[in-house]
Every structure is written in C-alpha cells, then in structure tokens.
Amino acid sequence: MADTATNLERIELTTKPARAKTVTAKPVRLLQQYFYFFMSLLIAAVVVFGFSHTVEVRLIHGVPRRPFLLWVHGVIFSGWVLFFIFQSLLVRTHNVRLHRTLGWFGAALGSAVFVVGVSTGIVMSRFRIQYFHGERAVPNLAISFYDVAAFAVPFALAILWRKKPEYHRRLILLATCALTSAAFGRFPAHILPPGWFFVGVDFLVLLGVARDLIVDKRVHRVYAVGLPVFVVCQCMVLYTVLNNPPYWVNIANAILR
C-alpha cells in the first residue's frame, strides 16, 4: 500500500506541471497562429473608425468639392488594407502558394499607394491654400510625405526580403501601421488628443513587439531597428510642423508651385 501511495504521489507531481504547461502554451499558440490576421482586422477597425468622423463632411459632401484624386486616394489606400487582411487570411489558412502569387499584385498596389500618396499630399496642400488660405498647408505637407516614406521603405524591404518570412511579415506590418496616422489623427479628442496620431501608430507596432516577447522571448531586429527609426523620424516631423523651419518652407514652396 505504501508503494502504491508513493507511486500515486509521483504520478500527481508529474502530471500537474504538464497541465500547467498546456494552459500557458495555449495563448502563445493563439498569438503564433492569429496575430497578423488579428492585426489586419485591428488596423481596418482603426481606419474605419477614424475616417468615419470626417469622410462625409470632408469628402462626400465637402464644400468646395474635393479633387477627384482624393477619391482615388481613398480607394487605393482602402484597397491596401483589404489586401493586407486577405493576404493574412491566406497565410492563416495555409494557402501560401496563392499568397505568394498575389504578392506581385500587392507589389503593384503598394507602388500605387506610394505614388497616389505623394500626389494627394501635394494636390490637397494646394487645394487648402487656394480655398482656405491654409497657413498650415506647408508645414503639414511634411506629415503627408513622412507617412508615405514610412510606408514605402518597409514595403520595399519586404519585397526585397520576400523569401525571408520572419522579416517579410513584420516589414509589411510596419508599412501598414505607418498608413494609420491619418486615421488616428481623426479620432475624437477624448480618445486621442490632437497631435498624438503618431502615438497610435507606435502603439500598433508595440503590439508586434509584445507578440515577439511572448512567443519568441526576444524582439525581432525589424522592430528593434524599425520602431526607434520611426520615433526619431516622427519627432523630426513634429518639430518641422511646429517650428516651420526656413529650409522646409523653401522646399515645400518649391514643390507646391
């Protein structure tokens, strides 16, 4: 009987840690399998929520009528978010071959995001100066150009390193997060204070950092390099917007002529 009791105790001691290990492993597996798909849905929710506060007044029924390019901008940028969701879903459902095939369409779509983003920034700055005598149009052009650049650089690297999945997926996430600053900038002030839109962008990137720490126990170098670069560039852009230095005024005026 004593031997039986001892054996039972040993069995209990060996089974309890295994049960605890299973419990803690489940959230990690969920992050491994669903994180990027969840992030694609979260980014879509941010975009829809942010622009829902301004799209009717500033676009659909805007007075004076907004340039047609702004509509193109909305379609292209929305298309990128939807494409990001679809590509994340393909990976989640193990349709990797189709994901890679459609990647070339994504390369074309991302290139369109860059071209249309730069063009829209210029056209809308001219529009504000012409119709609203916008004193902030020149400094705010820096935000538009930075957002497009913050998308374009990770996007280009993601294409370059498309055969390195761990780099590729994080770079695409970085690029897509960069596009959300305009949506965060339209959040109500009681949710996100005016001018804090870059905080929203960095929060999304920090979710990727948190995922790596939980799942991989380390921060991937894409985030280790990308997030600090984002923050430094964001500070430089905000300095430009707030102080309107002469060098930027000269550059912006030359672009807007």
Q: List, for residues 3-22, the tens digit of each pLDDT value.
A: 444 454 444 444 444 444 44
The CB-side HSE value for 85 (13 A sphere, CA atoms) comes to 11
Amino acid 24: pLDDT: 53
Q: Per-residue pLDDT averaged across 111-118, rounded?
A: 97
The whole-angstrom separation of Cα 36 and Cα 89 is: 9
Amino acid 22: pLDDT: 43
Amino acid 137: pLDDT: 87
| Helix (H) or strand (E) segment spanning residue 66 | none
> Is the pLDDT assigned to residue 55 strictly greater than 80?
yes
> Is the pLDDT assigned to residue 25 strictly greater than 90?
no
> Is the pLDDT assigned to residue 23 strictly greater than 90?
no
Amino acid 8: pLDDT: 42
Report residue 64: phi and psi, to 5°. Answer: -70, 165
Look at the block and give the residue holding tokens 């390195």. Answer: 164
- Per-residue pLDDT tens over the stretch 173-188: 999 999 999 999 999 9
Q: Per-residue pLDDT averaged across 72-92, rounded?
A: 96
Tell how far CA 161 is from the center of its chain.
Answer: 18
- Alpha helix stretches (DSSP H) within the chain: 2-51, 55, 68-92, 96-132, 137-160, 165-178, 181-184, 197-215, 221-243, 246-256
